[in-house]
Amino acid sequence: MNFSVTDNDFFKETSLLTKEDKKGIITHKSPSNIALIKYWGKHGIQLPNNPSLSFTLTNAFTETKLDFQTKKESESKAVISLEFWFEGQKNEKFEQKIRKFLESLLPTQPFLGFVHLQIYSQNSFPHSAGIASSASSMAALALCLCDLEKNLLNTLQNEEEFYQKASFLARLGSGSAARSVYSNIPITTWGKTEDIKDSSDLWANPYILPIHDIFQNYQDTILIVSAEEKSVSSRAGHALMENNPFSQTRYQLAHSNLQKLILALEKGDTETFIEVVENEAFVLHALMMCSSPPFILMETGTLSIIKKIQKYRQETTIPICFTLDAGANVHVLYPKKYENECINFIDNDLKPFCFEGKYLLDKVGS
């Protein structure tokens, strides 16, 4: 399945696209997500080597506006016509990246060659916070592209198909972005697994298994330990899994951790939730440390924070835990009902390890 529209009847009658001057504005807002079961390692065209599961966030999002106008009959339909603005400024670097992405889609989505595109994108979180924005930005862009197709070709009228295609396209831009197209769904999964009906490597799906109340409104406080760009890109990190001696064991572990997590989410079992979520974070970083070449993605502040969280949990029995993405920042996860205690703890004990005392309050989207 590549969601190709080359056989689309509207499209075959290119007159519809060339004679009729169409223009419009499409906007989409997509949330960031934090993986509890990590996607790390891929094959083929952006296909994951194991299933992943993430919380959808609320406050960290990207908003993208796409301004389109159909090209004149005389203009080439084999090239992408694009201008890109990020946070109000023309951004050549991002424009290049998006152009490359759109060019890669052109053979299966030829309507992209029939329009002039102006894209304006902005994040709700500061660019200097060291938070990866590829998930939310690629998801917002993919949703805009699906609306563009709907507008030009009269396709994707079915909502499920619309979101599946958006997730499919977002995945081609950045794997974790596949999980960011469903803004009002608390949990999303991506990747084929026996444990989730209709799961797919090609697109992410909303998580439809039972979720206990305690996990419905989980809080995620993102501690900014480092605002610097990561020492290794995700792309390079995934590639290092190919020769990692522990990769097969890792992929099996992801499946068994997912099974445990599914049960914990249903039962409201915070103990197993913590065991699985922290294990996933440690394993991700351990894999990087034993890659060739090795990478240490934690900073000393990251380790200090982790130790403080574990000690606080032991002393108070509050089910607070952490997860990490492929960098030094720490996502602190806790149930809403312990919000006050946890924020106090973060302010007093963890904030000193944050870069310029910065952290972002977020929560699972609903």
Binding positions for ligand DP6, rule: CB under 6 A:
35, 38-40, 46, 52, 132, 134, 174-176, 234-235, 238, 284, 325-326
Min CB(35)–ligand DP6 separation in Å: 3
DSSP string, 209-235: S---HHHHT-EEEEE-S--SPPSS-HH
Distance between CA atoms of 31 and 23, rounded to whole angstroms? Answer: 27
Q: Which of 65, 54, 51 shows the shortest CA–CA distance to 32?
A: 54
Q: Using omega within 30 degrees of 0 as the cis cutoff, is the peptide bond preceding 319 cis?
A: no
The minimum distance between CB 50 and ligand DP6, in angstroms, equals: 10
Give the position of tokens 């302010």: 347
Nearest-approach distance from CB 288 to ligand DP6, in angstroms: 10
**Which residue, 57 or 326, is less far from ligand DP6 as judged by CB?**
326
6-14: long-range contacts, CB 8 A cutoff, minimum separation 24? 6/107, 6/108, 6/110, 8/153, 8/155, 10/152, 10/153, 10/154, 10/155, 11/110, 11/111, 11/153, 14/77, 14/114
Under DSSP, the state recorded for 71 is P
Task: CB nearer to ligand DP6: give 254 or 350.
Answer: 254
The CB-of-238 to ligand DP6 minimum distance in angstroms stands at 5
Nearer to ligand DP6, 205 or 234 (CB): 234
User: In angstroms, how far is CA 233 from the centroid of its own chain?
Assistant: 15
> Which residue has the CB atom at the shortest distance from ligand DP6?
175
| Residue 68: φ, ψ to 5° | -125, 155
Q: Which is nearer to ligand DP6, 49 or 81 (CB)?
A: 49
Nearer to ligand DP6 (CB atom), residue 47 or residue 303: 47
CB of 91 to ligand DP6, least distance (A): 18
Rounded least distance, CB 255 to ligand DP6, Å = 15
In the bound state with ligand DP6, the residue whose beta carbon lies nearer, of 66 and 288, is 288
